[in-house]
């Protein structure tokens, strides 16, 4: 019985995931999601948060949630291992340090990992776990205020929009996005202050904070545009 954690963040407009380099067989030296065995006296949630902190130094601060269990008898060549997979979403923290047991932890672009010719091969069935985790995050962006977990404490609506654009892989209309976000009660609250424009100029953007400490349901949901046909 193990837990594995898909930790997503946004860096330079790209969706990235925290990977560790395995220090043990099997898959020694390969990249994998952080995770490990559940201790007898802890809940699944506690195990996920603990393993994440131990192996990567990341504090998920309660923003961690289970999304699927994987139990194929052959998924681990050593023995039967059932894993409960978790999703955590954090702002860009700069560097991610290696964990207590000296494994390296680093951020890797999700697009490359999930493309037809992956940049890196992942251990076990972690490519499937990552795929499902990213899909869970995309859906969560539609129905909850989780997007604010990707950005810092104060942010502009452009930054919030870039979260959706990176996760969904499509551009969104700035005006329509603004209207929808401001129409959702308690999604964001204005601070009254403005941010300095970027190096390319432009009007200074208003700064907002998350409208609630906890995750809230968006009503109406901010629906992802559906593909035509099918």
Partner DNA sequence: GGAATAGTGTCTCTGAGACAGTATAGT
Partner DNA sequence: ACTATACTGTCTCAGAGACACTATTCC
Rounded distance between C-alpha atoms, residue 50 and residue 46, angstroms: 6
| 154 in Cβ contact with 208 (< 8 Å) | yes
Burial readout 118-154 (b: 16 or more C-beta within 10 A, e: otherwise):
eeeebbbbbbebbebbbebbeebbbbbbbbbbbbeee
Q: Note whether 198 binds DNA by CB under 7 A.
A: yes
- Decide which of DNA, a copy of itself, none touches 178; Cβ closer than 5 to 8 Å per partner kind: DNA
By CB under 7 A, the residues from 134 to 173 that bind DNA are: 156-158, 173
Q: Note whether 211 binds DNA by CB under 7 A.
A: no
- Decide which of a copy of itself, DNA, none touches 38; Cβ closer than 5 to 8 Å per partner kind: a copy of itself
Kindly tell me which of 101 and 219 has the beta carbon lying closer to a copy of itself: 219
Q: Quote the least distance from Cβ 175 to DNA, whole Å.
A: 3
The maximal CA–CA distance of the chain, rounded, in angstroms, is 59
Judged by CB under 7 A, which stretch of 48-56, 122-130, 200-208, 209-217 contacts DNA? Answer: 200-208
Kindly tell me which of 80 and 193 has the beta carbon lying closer to a copy of itself: 80
Phi then psi dihedrals of residue 18, to 5 deg: -80, 125
Kindly tell me which of 106 and 139 has the beta carbon lying closer to DNA: 139
Rounded distance between C-alpha atoms, residue 33 and residue 53, angstroms: 13
- Return residues touching a copy of itself (CB under 8 A): 1, 38, 40-44, 47, 66, 68-73, 80, 82, 84, 219, 226
Q: Quote the least distance from Cβ 9 to DNA, whole Å.
A: 20
Q: Quote the least distance from Cβ 142 to DNA, whole Å.
A: 9
Q: Quote the least distance from Cβ 182 to DNA, whole Å.
A: 7
The number of angstroms, rounded, from the C-alpha of 161 to the middle of its chain's C-alpha atoms is 16
Q: Quote the least distance from Cβ 69 to a copy of itself, whole Å.
A: 5
CA 58, 32, 147 angle in degrees (round to 5)?
Answer: 45
> From its phi and psi, is residue 173 left (phi > 0), alpha (psi between -120 and 50) or beta?
beta
Write out the E strands in the chain. Answer: 2-11, 14-21, 31-32, 35-37, 64-70, 83-89, 105-109, 154-155, 188-194, 206-210
Q: Quote the least distance from Cβ 211 to DNA, whole Å.
A: 16
Binding site for DNA (CB under 7 A): 156-158, 173-176, 178-180, 183, 194, 196-206, 220-223, 225
């Amino acid at each position: 019985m193990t837990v594995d954690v898909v930790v997503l963040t946004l860096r330079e407009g790209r969706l990235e995931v925290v990977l560790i380099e395995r220090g043990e067989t099997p898959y020694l030296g390969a990249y994998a999601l952080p995770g490990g065995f559940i201790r007898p006296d802890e809940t699944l949630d506690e195990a996920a948060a603990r393993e994440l902190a131990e192996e990567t130094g990341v504090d998920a601060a309660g923003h961690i949630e289970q999304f699927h269990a994987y139990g194929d008898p052959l998924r681990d060549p050593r023995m039967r291992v059932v894993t409960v997979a978790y999703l955590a979403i954090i702002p860009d923290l700069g560097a991610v340090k290696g964990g207590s047991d000296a494994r390296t932890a680093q951020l890797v672009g999700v697009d490359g990992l999930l493309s037809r010719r992956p940049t890196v091969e992942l251990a076990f069935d972690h490519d499937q776990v990552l795929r499902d985790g990213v899909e869970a995050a995309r859906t969560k962006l539609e129905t909850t205020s989780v997007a604010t977990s990707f950005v810092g404490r104060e942010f502009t609506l452009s930054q919030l929009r870039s979260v959706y654009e990176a996760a969904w892989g499509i551009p969104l209309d700035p005006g329509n996005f603004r209207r929808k976000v401001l129409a959702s009660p308690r999604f964001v609250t204005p601070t009254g202050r403005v941010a300095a424009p970027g190096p390319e100029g432009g009007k200074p953007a208003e700064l907002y904070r998350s409208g609630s400490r906890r995750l809230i349901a968006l009503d109406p949901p901010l629906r992802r545009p559906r593909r035509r046909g099918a």
